[in-house]
Amino acid sequence: MTQAGGIGAIVQPGIMEIALYESGASQLAGRSDVLKLSSNENPFGPPQSAQDAIAEALGALHRYPPTDHAGLRGAIGEVHGLDPGRIICGVGSDEVFIFLVQSFAGPGTEVLYSEHGFSMYPILARSVGATPVVVPERDRAVDVDALLGAVSGRTRIVFVANPGNPTGTFVTPAELERLADGLPETCILVLDGAYAEFAPGYDGGAAIAAKRPNVVMTRTFSKLYGLGGLRVGWGYAAQPVIDVLNRVRGPFNLSNAQLAGAEAAVRDRAWVELCLARNAAARDRLTSDLRALELGCDTSFANFVLARFGTSAEADAAEAHLRGDAILVRKVAGYGLPHALRITVGSDADCDRLVQSLRAWRESAR
């Protein structure tokens, strides 16, 4: 038997059905002036406080990090008014998702997610042999009734990104509560709050998770805090759920540098408020400019906007034109939106450069 045949015979069910995740492009050959607006990164980077904390932690790389993440959990709890004992930290919120599917899904079970939901959800389901079930959205927003109607006796996890990615649309807390109340106790509702901070007045689902035994809220330091390269995320849930997740979490999954940087960042509220204000102003202006170019653009509650074109061919042509101007945005055909482009909200100068390029494309196409 060949080596390939031998390996193929022992791969766990569902693994070979996984399509490899593709991240946003970051480079163009022969160009040094690339403007990357493809990965929803904070254009202002991380706060100086986090950079200083990381630099200090580098002097102790020979020391193992604490296994309980007490300092970071305490800081998160203090800032958000949450019980640190009900918080778990991971390598990005992605790792918390991994803990969840490892613990609560598997062969013979189903994992639900909405039509344009984060592409990692079906990957995670298949990684443990569970069946991913995609549920239609309504006008690019999560449809609570459709999700509830798709729940079966095999459903173990329902993933809801709010605000949505790549749509930027928002589900009200009241609707999320209705979803949570309509799920059986044997089903975990995961409220993915990677972009929660950008939605004014939204707690990411913390209040919902606080009073229900089967709701998990997740957050990340990769977006607002500008620490995507550091990879830190966290989850908040009832104590019994956290106890389960900690049994599959590696004891040293976060380094000293990760813990120190994230703790400094979450405590730096002045930086947070500055970045939120800048994002809100630039997002509103970018949305207005895109609409002026006769592009469909839902109101976004995140740090990106989804520009909708008349056809997929038109979206491809616009993306190619932007590439010609060394501007990278995200094609989202894999999310069921072949006629759209997801565009990160950059600095004022970034947005000006993007709009100028799209305006030139629009004029040349007439």
For residue 201, pLDDT beyond 90: yes
User: Which is nearest to 36 in space by CA: 328, 324, 320?
Assistant: 328
Token pair 């991994």 in the structure block, residue: 98
Q: Match 């309980």 to its residue by tokens.
A: 68
pLDDT-derived band at 35 (thresholds 50, 70, 90) equals: very high
Q: What is the pLDDT of residue 3?
A: 46
DSSP string, 149-218: HH--TTEEEEEEESS-TTT-----HHHHHHHHHHS-TTSEEEEE-TTGGGSTT--TTHHHHHT-TTEEEE
User: Do 185 and 213 form a contact (C-beta atoms < 8 A)?
Assistant: yes
- CA angle 236–237–243, rounded 5-degree value: 105
Q: What is the mean pLDDT of the chain?
A: 94
pLDDT at 7 over 90: no
Above 90 in pLDDT, residue 140? yes
| Residue that is written with structure tokens 């800048």 in the block | 278
What is the pLDDT at residue 271?
Answer: 97
Tell me the whole-structure pTM to 2 decimals: 0.92
Domains of the chain and CATH, by start: 25-45+270-365 (3.90.1150.10), 48-267 (3.40.640.10)
Residue 330 in contact with residue 118, Cβ under 8 Å? no
Give the Cα separation of 220 and 227 in Å (integer). 9
- In the block, tokens 């004022």 appear at 348
In which band, very low, low, confident or very high, does the pLDDT at 310 lie, cut at 50, 70 and 90? Answer: very high
Summarize pLDDT for 45-94 with one digit per residue, the tens: 999 999 999 999 999 999 999 999 999 999 999 999 999 999 999 999 99
pLDDT at 138 over 90: yes
Please give the pLDDT value at position 13. Answer: 76
Residue 163 pLDDT grade (very low, low, confident, very high; cuts 50, 70, 90)? very high
